[in-house]
Structure 1
Amino acid sequence: MSKDMRKEGKLVKSSDILGNPGRGLMAGTIAFFAGYAAVALFGITVHSIAPLLHLTIVEIGWLVAIPLLTGSLLRIPFGALVDAVGGRRTIMIQLLAALIGMAGLILTLHLIYLNSLTASVGYALLMLSGAVAGIGISTFASGIAYVSYWFPQRRQGYALGTFAGVGNAAPGIFTAILPFALVSIGLIGSYIAWAIFLAIMILVFFLIGHDAYYFQLVRRGLLRSDAIDKAKALGEELVPSGSTARSLAIAARAWRTWPLTIMYLTSFGGFEALTEWLPTYWTKYLGISLVLAGILTGIVYSLLTALIRVPGGWWSDRWSGEMVAIVSYLILILGSVLFMTSHSLIAGIISEVVMAMGMGIANAAVFKMVPKYVPEAVGGATGWVGGLGAVGGLLIPPIMAYIAAVMGKPGYAYGFIIFVILGILSMILALILRSTSR
């Protein structure tokens, strides 16, 4: 940043341009970690909430799903919004909305304990507040775009792998912690502690988070063409389309967006699905306690899936996202077959570890390819791939539940056939991408 820049006859000093790639990665990761914790919102606490409102199994299912629903679908507009206004503003909107949702949950739970609400009203308010809190989950799409614009193509795997790997650790950590928090500080106390944590993370992001150079230059009055030139002179390779609608349209017209979406539905949608489903699998199929099921799901599965995404990004930089994706889906298929044939706790844990490795590495490989194939609309592509891909977290658990309902207890194991099918399809798509890679 050695040269000053002209801004309508005035100088834009290099000291006015804030941040750097490392700081951008740190800020984006902190924001995503805080927002993504909402995945675990009702998965564990629903066991404390359900008796208060006498909820049916269907009502419980919707309560668990609602944060994922808003968090998944809103990735599409929020991811594309980054291309228009930058990631900092977009992420702040998402995190503040999540905090408002948490406040709504705390107030609603307080009123339920005071018997000030009927069961139907209390349930409706929990659904509404959970939906708003779930907006924090959509920081994945905006965060991917935010971080992508800070880094060159050759380091996208490392940057996005680190961002998503650390951020994805949030559900695992919270799933493991929540059972103990519920015992020690109670349901409302757990939510208050969660809200305080979120508020602190919002403040940290506000203080250290800055948009990539292009957005800062445009905000200071430079014309788009001048901002692009100056940003590239400062080392920024990717620049946005400049419009939310245009970004989504460009990404939708790029045919490779859609294989990547299906592949991400398998690995990341599958990750979310198993974060929800595995506690049921462990307790209903193998008969272990809820606390142990929470540890196995949160620490062994969710945390491993998240953290292995970091080296998965490095491997994708070195051997290409396509090649790493092919290998990772093979591992995922192996884990699925092991689950289908497992009848003991040890065998189930081995299956879980293999599945976690395949899913985590695949997640990194897919998003290594997004900036490569849609460099002119990373925000839009991130929205489509991240948003629609995450819908797998909503679709897969009901399918596995239906198989269990039809087949009885063995169905909890045979339900993993869905991942064999999706894994084979995703591996074929990765082979197609590799054969047509430019």
Structure 2
Amino acid sequence: MTAPSTAPAPSSGPRRGGRWIEHWDPEDETFWNTTGERIARRNLFFSVLSEHIGFSIWTLWSVLVLFMGPEYGLTPADKFLLTSMVTLVGAVVRVPYTFAVAVFGGRNWTVISAGLLLVPTVAAFAVMEPGTSFTTFLLVGLLAGVGGGNFASSMTNINAYFPLRKKGWALGLNAGGGNIGVPVIQLIALAIIGANGRPRVLLGIYIPLILLAAVLAFRFMDNLEKVRNDTGAAQDAARDGHTWIMSFLYVGTFGSFIGYSFAFGQVLTNQFGRTPLQAAYLTFIGPLLGSLIRPVGGRLADRWGGARISLYTYVGMGAATAVLVYASQQKSLGLFVPVFVALFVLSGLGNGSTFKMIPGIFHTKALARGLTGEAAAAYGRRLSGASMGLIGAVGALGGVGINLAFRQSFLSYGSGTGAFVAFLVFYAACFAVTWAVYLRKPAGATSPAASAAEKEPQLGYAEV
């Protein structure tokens, strides 16, 4: 149950149904140590569970396409198009999912969004058999995109629970626990393929798990009264250049993670001639390690600054991609697989560090405006919460771009080499933007004559 110190008094005004907490001030260390941390951690745990299953359903088709042999009549281009469209829907729904938390409450929306996962799972269970048209598979696959929205609502909700000093760890753990749904569903699929099971067995396993996640969220999570749907915050976030800069950078980290998660197995089967079973033995490793290391990226960002960690991450991603270009040209599976896995790990680190930057950037802007204490924290929470949906949506579009790039590369060259060259150029751009916006000192920064306006954009950004 919610601790008495956070429960609203009967005379405190209208109270909507469900578990609602009216007073919440995580920046107050006394409140945090005596009451807040326990409640925040409980909500984090069940948020991770629901988001984890959401990621599994979203990336379901990256696994199902491996089951779909010649009898299904789909070409490699068809499969890349199918996974691209699933990723696209998952990106788009992140925007309304972000604001649904404020409309319905974090707990209530977690229950609703978990329940919605039944729709794509049951639909896929119904149509998964040879003879079904590609159009039907495409339409049913699009439904799985709702699983991608769970990330945005979960991150927005958990962002409100934790103090700024712990957001990197909390958001990294929340996102990493969700991301790990990708390798988990791939591991379960590996067991099913190895046992000569059918795709419907995989789908049948997740139906009771979805129901369990919804019931546990209903029973143990809370809603925060202070999280309100603030149209002005959404507009302010959309007008702020940092929202779009971080969206671009997030394409490079999370877009890479989700795009490669969908594409890895298909690249192994189409370019290196692996069977579905052989591919399944390898595809889960990268997403697993990339998910597990995401909280580490957040923790490192808490300590050293998200901008610095992100910069080094892009250097590593660029280097790994350059090696993948060579491995792809040489058709060297022994080199290709470990370097691709390393690319997953780096994307996971970058996921944690880039998302940690968001609340830090807006808190820094609050300080530059002369705000202090709770006023600065409230300003940062308001804009960072509103921006997360936009950033998460644009970042997920990177997964669409990766799958479409692979599709075109295979159509044009018969391999993924062309796509990797394009990714290398993009990571170089991410490096340049991170350095220029968040780490480069302006020319007049040390001059006493420099105006406050000139100094404000660089205030503490290296530490965000």
TM-score (norm 2): 0.79
Change (3 A) 1:103 1:9: closer
Name the counterpart of 1:321: 306
Q: How does 1:226-237 map to 2 (within 5 A)?
A: none
- What is the CA-CA distance between 1:191 and the residue it aligns to? 0.9
Q: Are residue 433 (structure 1) and residue 421 (structure 2) matched? A: no
| Deviations 1:142-184, CA, capped at 9 Å, x for gaps | 0101111110011011001111112111111212321431444
Preserved CA contact (<8 Å) 1:100 1:132: yes
Q: How does 1:215-294 map to 2 (within 5 A)?
A: 215=225, 240=227, 242-243=228-229, 245-294=231-280
Secondary structure at 2:61's aligned position in 1? coil
Change (3 A) 1:305 1:276: same
Preserved CA contact (<8 Å) 2:48 2:175: yes
| Deviations 1:346-388, CA, capped at 9 Å, x for gaps | 3223312331222111111111012223421333211111011
* Matched pairs, number: 399
Change (3 A) 1:350 1:62: closer
Name the counterpart of 1:366: 354
Preserved CA contact (<8 Å) 1:332 1:357: no
Name the counterpart of 1:87: 106
- What is the CA-CA distance between 1:196 and the residue it aligns to? 1.8
Preserved CA contact (<8 Å) 2:107 2:222: yes
Name the counterpart of 2:172: 161
1:336 to 298, 302, 321: 321
Name the counterpart of 2:420: 416
Q: Distance in 2 between matches of 1:58 and 1:412?
A: 12
Change (3 A) 1:66 1:26: same
Q: Are residue 73 (structure 1) and residue 95 (structure 2) matched? A: no
Preserved CA contact (<8 Å) 2:120 2:141: yes
2:296 to 294, 299, 311: 311
Name the counterpart of 1:170: 181
1:186 to 193, 198, 222: 198
- What is the CA-CA distance between 1:306 and the residue it aligns to? 0.9
Name the counterpart of 2:29: none
Secondary structure at 1:164's aligned position in 2? helix
Preserved CA contact (<8 Å) 2:80 2:404: no
Percent identical pairs in the alignment equals 23
Change (3 A) 1:373 1:81: farther
Name the counterpart of 1:382: 388
Preserved CA contact (<8 Å) 1:99 1:133: no
- What is the CA-CA distance between 1:297 and the residue it aligns to? 1.8
| Deviations 1:196-245, CA, capped at 9 Å, x for gaps | 22222222222222134xx2xxxxxxxxxxxx6xxxxxxxxxxx4x3253
Amino acid aligned to 1:144: M
TM-score (norm 1): 0.83
Q: Distance in 2 between matches of 1:3 and 1:151?
A: 15
Secondary structure at 1:55's aligned position in 2? coil
Q: Distance in 2 between matches of 1:44 and 1:11?
A: 47
Residue range with higher mean Cα deviation, 415-424 or 43-52? 43-52
Name the counterpart of 1:199: 211
